[in-house]
Amino acid sequence: MQVFNNQFVIFFLRKTKKKPKNLILIPTKTSLLCYFCNMQIRQPIRNIQDFLLSTYFADGLRITIGVLLPSLIFAQFGLLKYGMTLSLGALCVSVVDSPGPMVHRRNAMLITTALIFTFSIITGLTNRNHYFIGFLLAVSSFVFSMFYIYGVRAASVGTAVLLIMVLSIDDVRPWQVVLLHAAFVLAGSLWYTGLSYFVYRLRPFRLVQQSLSDSILEVAEFLREKAKFYHQNNNYDKTYSELLQLQVSVHEKQDAVRELLFRTREIVRDSTPEGRFLLLVFVDMVDLFEQVMSTYYNYQQLHDQFDKAGILSDYEMAIKRISYALDDIAFALKSGGIPVISKRLLIEIERLKIKINNLEKNNQNQEYNTLGIIALKNIEVNIENILARVKTIFSYFKIRNSKDIVKADVDTEKFITRQKFDFKLFTENLTYTSSTFRHSLRVTVVMLLGFIVAQILDFSHSYWILLTILVISKPGFSLTKERNYQRLIGTTVGAFIGMGVITYIHDRNTLFVILLFCMIGCYSFQRKNYVVSVLFMTPYILILFDFLGMGSIALARERIYDTFIGSGIALLASYSLFPTWEYEKLKEAMINMLKANKAYFEQVVKLYFEKNYNRTEYKLARKEVYVSTANLASLFQRMFSEPKSKQLFIKEVHQFTALSHLLSSYVATLSLYNKEHQFIFESFENLKPIANNTDYLLDTSINNLEQGKDTIDNVPLIRLNDNGLAIKKGEDLVPEQFDLIQKVAYDIYKLSVKIKL
């Protein structure tokens, strides 16, 4: 094998026709600098391309067309007010048209269509009487806020109905006009529903491709963050915190893809090569993420030993290059191209192997700890395993359209979460202990208060106060606080931009182009970045009113005033009126985390000691670990937005979250040993005490949290005794992994008595 400097090789290859075999290029500082300059130029372009091909931009275009087109067409015939009513119906229905299985979206849009048609009539016929409409608003706010118990999409149905009520609350019309108005709202709703379904049928796999691509980008970002552990002078706590947040995001994205994949008929029936291809990529990406999760070491010790050798920066670069390969896969899914694995990546991995071997060979004076070198070699092997899976995913693209593409072995039915829509669940939550019930009470009071304030102030568009309250009020204080700040910043900045536009630009064509741009921006960012969405929304509204002959600086000021009033009411209520704090959910989240880790460990143990084991149960247990980890991590992060007095046991909960993450990482490592070697222990008896004691420690920890126990029982650690283990050579890491898992379970057990919730 020949190792050369890049600059020498370039000259050598120019002068020589015959290329040497097994050539390894070692990049110089100059070549690396050129590469990174090129990367810095290409990255913003790739980011723009990714966004334009994403589901966010596709949603923005679809909603913009659905909302704007009726008004444009009717305006050509001098019937703009009817076109605006059609657009209103389309806008309300678009609220529930978030990504997901088409059957869910279709059903939600049809239900929303029926409800907004009904409430458009009811509101129009009763809004003459302020007392009656106030009562109707309060009752509707409570009932539709309770829809949160049925999930996010059901909650958005309630939001859409309240939206049509708020927008119709000040429009007093004769009953004949009310019915005509409701009919146009109905027509607009049906128009948008039909448009959404038509776009889906044109490219039924497009949403799955975009969502799968987004989930792969999150895994790539997770890898880049994990690579920071190998960076000198890294802040480990900050990196770990970022990893937890990214893990939440990865889970959310993968769960969304899972719902789409397993509920799309064309994919479930294996009727097309594209469906089988997407399923294969997703299954391998989930397994790849498990491999990434399984790598966890004492990074401080690694830096103490090897910083002077400079080898850890090579690990960082190798991991980053794998993440760039995942970026290429994600982009190819959206663009329809065929990605090519970077030769620079393969060179980097080969270079890493050579450096490790040289480090070991030159360690005759024991300058470096033997265990440290073993750890480096294990990490490198894991990187190679991850790379092998990445190569496999790359290979799928070459047979993407082949009818011979294999079927992924997945029992899709077991991975689908079904939401019950029974009235019993509604009545069971009509209790003060239910956070949804308290949220509904709070929304009822603040909407009624906002209505009263709006009537007293009598602004020309005082319904903006109610709109602000509606979109800001969330079940928890932290979410309400976050959305509140986002709304205020976006509205204020957007209002100044809007004032500048309508003051200095008077050409109608130019204004229309800006309006179109702002609409697309508003609807594209509403799920990605709410601040940016509101920043686009405010100029869009001001320009729209300018087209209607009502645009002015006073209107922009009024929007700012109304937003501040609504935000203040919503935020104060979330703190003082039937508040819901995150610590109230901590016990349940922590117990669920322990139960999920225990079930995961039990399934992995079965991988070793049961022949012909069905891996479906193992995959289900792994999925539950990801779900519970994401729930606990996001809950923990939300606690930091709450008042200090409500941040109970913050240090202990942080330790618990870290230990739980470590436990699931160790269990994932144990499962990977089995996948890589496919062996069965001939004798279970030697490891059985450790496995049983681990189960016992986790069970005891669960009981401690449930009962609030504050004393530690004398639970011994079972010593590792592997003298009688019948294991093949090279597989002695397995007993050590069982021992590591037991020790982490013991640490969790000791911590569980300190947390009294």
Tens-place pLDDT, residues 500-541: 998 899 888 999 999 999 999 999 999 889 999 999 999 999
pLDDT exceeds 80 at position 118: yes
Instruction: Tell me if 121 is assigned to some domain.
Output: no
The answer on 652 and 503 residing in a single domain is no
Query: What band does 20 get if pLDDT is binned at 50, 70 and 90?
Result: very low
Mean pLDDT, residues 446-457: 90
Task: Tell me if 326 sits within 8 A of 339, measured CB to CB.
Answer: no
Q: Domain residues for 361?
A: 203-405
Instruction: Tell me if 181 is assigned to some domain.
Output: no
The answer on 637 and 499 residing in a single domain is no
Backbone phi and psi for residue 642, each to the nearest 5 degrees, phi listed first: -95, 165
Identify the CA nearest to 324 among candidates 528, 39, 29.
Answer: 39
The amino acid occupying position 329 is I
Instruction: Tell me if 515 is assigned to some domain.
Output: yes
The answer on 522 and 587 residing in a single domain is no
pLDDT at 269: 62
pLDDT exceeds 80 at position 680: no
Instruction: Tell me if 324 is assigned to some domain.
Output: yes
Mean pLDDT, residues 701-712: 80
Q: Which residues contact 254 (CB under 8 A, 6 or more apart)?
A: 215, 282, 285, 286, 289, 626
pLDDT at 185: 95
Tens-place pLDDT, residues 561-585: 888 998 999 888 888 888 888 888 8
pLDDT exceeds 70 at position 678: no
Pure H helices in 362-476: 370-398, 423-428, 435-457, 463-472
The answer on 351 and 225 residing in a single domain is yes
Count of domains in the chain? 4
Listing DSSP states for 345-393 in one string gives: HHHHHHHHHHHHHHHHHT-TT--S-HHHHHHHHHHHHHHHHHHHHHHHH
Tokens standing for residue 688: 């059985």
Tell me which of 366, 387, 405 is where a domain ends.
Answer: 405
Q: What is the 3-state secondary structure (H, E, C) of 483-521?
A: HHHHHHHHHHHHHHHHHHHHHHCCCHHHHHHHHHHHHHH
C-alpha–C-alpha distance, residues 544 and 432, integer Å: 43
In three-state secondary structure terms, 23 is strand
The answer on 588 and 553 residing in a single domain is no
pLDDT at 536: 94
The answer on 711 and 593 residing in a single domain is yes
pLDDT at 732: 59
Average pLDDT, the chain: 84
C-alpha–C-alpha distance, residues 73 and 46, integer Å: 36
pLDDT exceeds 90 at position 301: no
Mean pLDDT, residues 664-692: 74
Helix 615-639 / helix 586-609 crossing angle, nearest 10 deg: 150
**Sign of the C-alpha dihedral, residues 545, 547, 548, 551?**
positive
pLDDT at 136: 94
The answer on 393 and 449 residing in a single domain is no
Instruction: Tell me if 424 is assigned to some domain.
Output: no
In three-state secondary structure terms, 3 is strand
pLDDT exceeds 90 at position 51: no
Query: What band does 16 get if pLDDT is binned at 50, 70 and 90?
Result: very low
Task: Tell me if 109 sits within 8 A of 96, measured CB to CB.
Answer: yes
- Of 43-52, 295-304, 487-496, the range with the highest mean pLDDT is 487-496
Instruction: Tell me if 175 is assigned to some domain.
Output: no
pLDDT at 270: 59
Task: Tell me if 146 sits within 8 A of 440, measured CB to CB.
Answer: yes
C-alpha–C-alpha distance, residues 31 and 108, integer Å: 55
The share of the chain scoring above pLDDT 70, in percent, equals: 86
C-alpha distances in angstroms, 269 versus 273, 347, 616?
11, 41, 19
pLDDT at 32: 44
Mean pLDDT, residues 61-85: 93
Tens-place pLDDT, residues 581-604: 888 888 899 999 999 999 999 998
C-alpha–C-alpha distance, residues 293 and 247, integer Å: 9
The answer on 586 and 570 residing in a single domain is no
3-state helix, strand, coil in the chain (%, to 5): 75, 0, 25
Tens-place pLDDT, residues 150-202: 988 999 999 999 999 998 888 888 889 999 999 999 999 999 999 999 999 99
The answer on 394 and 446 residing in a single domain is no
Q: Which residues contact 269 (CB under 8 A, 6 or more apart)?
A: 275
C-alpha–C-alpha distance, residues 181 and 132, integer Å: 21
The answer on 390 and 294 residing in a single domain is yes
Tell me which of 15, 33, 48 is where a domain ends.
Answer: 48
Query: What band does 17 get if pLDDT is binned at 50, 70 and 90?
Result: very low
C-alpha–C-alpha distance, residues 567 and 587, integer Å: 31
pLDDT at 711: 67
**Sign of the C-alpha dihedral, residues 173, 177, 183, 188?**
negative
pLDDT exceeds 70 at position 284: yes
pTM here?
0.84
- Convert 589-616 to b/e letters by CB count within 10 Å (16 or more is b): bbbbbbbbbbbbbbbbbbbbeeeeeebe
Instruction: Tell me if 540 is assigned to some domain.
Output: yes
The answer on 243 and 231 residing in a single domain is yes
Instruction: Tell me if 399 is assigned to some domain.
Output: yes
Tell me which of 405, 426, 461 is where a domain ends.
Answer: 405
The answer on 606 and 540 residing in a single domain is no
